[in-house]
Amino acid sequence: MSVSDRDDEAYLAAVEAMLSAEGMAEAAELLREADTEVVETGYDNWNGGTRLYTVYLAIDPAEYGRLGAKRDTLQEQISARVRAVFEQDDNTRFSAAIRPRIRARPDWRSAPATLSRRTRRNIIDGIKVDRIAWMGAISDVEFLERLWDLKAMPSTDARFEDAAGDIWQHRYNNDDWDDDWIFGDERFNLVDGSADRFLAFLAEMVHPVVRPDRNQALEIVRNFNDQLRPEGWTLEEIEKIAGRPRFVARAIADLGGRAVMRAKTVADALDAAWMQKEIDRVENAIDRDPALAIGTAKELVESCCKSVLTKRGVPYSSGADLPALTKLVAKELGLVPEDITDAKKGADTIKLILRNLAALTQYLAELRGLYGSGHGRDGRHRGLQPRHARLAVGAAVSFIDFVTETFRERQLRDDAASDAPEIPTVAKS
């Protein structure tokens, strides 16, 4: 078979299958998400002549930078399997090369990220009110060196040459700076300086090394995002380290509708490992297998409902279907509150929205029955497109997001009630 007749997609699919089977999940994921191009890049006259080909794997520039030194390892893992699959004779040689994806971005010369002083102050005030140690489980110096070159920054104490020295002196030797000194230090200028630096500071506060307590990190992220969203920003999970999420700041407009990211945070909040597996299936299937994504979206909602019911101690039948599960959850959490009186403005609209939110799950079940995975089709059936899968997944994530937020509020309220001191009763004489 000539090179021109080769089905590169089929060959790349074989490479991906090999990587997955050998446990090289990160390399397999990179291959799936990359824009691929097979290019003849050279010719070697030695030994009768050999044509040299490169399989270029173009990925997001930010992801390319994040991989750092790991790129070489992933590139070699992929190259070895590319050679095994693509090289059919002694006249061709193949390798893989990871490179940043080049796309026009008209705004790259525009002003840097912006974040108002008011929002920054609100976030800082929240940190102080909740008494959150911004440096977490590590020292001030160790934390700040993750973001700044302290040895290149000036000291405010003449006895020391750089910022690292005076911070250590006043925080640990003298211990005469308070915990929140960082927010008033002009060298770091968190209130009026670079928005990118402020956002990076917030993301570093919830890094697994800094904040090993996953639940605490998730709660802090939730509070940060409440302030950031109105200004078009959010802290988004991008990977896990030792089972704990790592976040980065992203402009909401740049997220590309990846509602799945929010579902990952939800699964963390519920501590539901099986939800994580289904979320990964959804994310990988939206474009490659829309039918599977639709079917898995329904299963994702079922997992959410079962997790909430289990944590609330509510029994349910092993054969309970999706409408039955959502009905139990709605009753337990009060998703459709009956105490919204008609006298309140917009009461009917609020009730309608909440009821329809719960009803979304039933629509998902019906959609799966018509178009999802798990059902035989005749040869004329075309199925749905990725855009339809995104609709189903978006509906599922909207539901579990709302359910989980309500679940967390109920838990906090119940915990507060159980911790409240009992008021002793006075016996009547």
Whether 121 and 223 share a structural domain: yes
First to last CA, the chain: 103
In the chain, the percentage of residues whose pLDDT exceeds 70 is: 73
Q: Are 139 and 94 found together in one domain? A: no
Give the number of domains in the chain: 3
In a domain, 425, yes or no: no
Q: CA 239 from chain center: how many Å?
A: 7
Distance (Å, whole) CA 336 – CA 327 = 10
Is 146 a domain residue?
Answer: yes
pLDDT at 179: 93
For every residue of 306-326, DSSP letters joined together read HHHHHHTT----TT--HHHHH
Residue range 205-263, pLDDT digits in tens: 999 999 999 999 999 998 998 899 888 788 988 888 888 889 999 876 443 344 555 55
Same domain, 275 and 330: yes
- CATH code (residue 91): 3.30.70
Same domain (yes/no): 313, 409: yes
Q: Distance of alpha carbon 157 from its chain centroid, rounded?
A: 41
Last residue of a domain, one of 68, 103, 138: 103
Question: What range defines the domain where residue 73 resides?
Answer: 3-103
Which residues face 326 on adjacent strands?
none
95 and 157 part of one domain: no
Strands 244-251 and 92-100: unpaired
The size of the chain, in residues, is: 429
Indicate if 61 and 9 belong to the same structural domain: yes
From the list 42, 35, 25, the residue with the least C-alpha distance to 78 is 25
Same domain? 62 vs 197: no
Q: Which of 224, 255, 286 is the last residue of a domain?
A: 255
Strand partners, 241: 244
- Domain identity same for 273 and 412: yes
- Residues 343, 236, single domain; the answer is no
Whether 158 and 152 have beta carbons less than 8 Å apart is answered as: no
In-domain check, residue 186: yes
Answer yes or no: is 294 within a domain.
Answer: yes
Q: Is residue 109 part of a domain?
A: no
pLDDT tens string 68-127? 778 888 999 999 999 999 988 778 899 999 999 887 665 566 556 688 999 999 999 999
Give the tens place of pLDDT for each residue, 403-418: 887 888 888 788 777 7
- Within a domain: 421: no
In this structure, is residue 276 part of a structural domain? yes
Here the CATH number for the domain that contains residue 315 is 1.20.120
Q: Summarize pLDDT for 111-150 with one digit per residue, the tens.
A: 566 889 999 999 999 999 999 999 999 999 999 999 998 9
Whether residue 191 is predicted with pLDDT greater than 50 in this model: the reply is: yes
Residue 28 in any domain: the answer is yes
Residues 200 and 98 in one domain: no
Examine the fold and report which residue of 236, 255, 274 is the final residue of a domain before the chain moves on: 255
Same domain? For 272 and 403 the reply is yes
Residues 53 and 190 in one domain: no
In Å, what is the CA distance from 408 to each residue of 215, 333, 400? 11, 10, 12
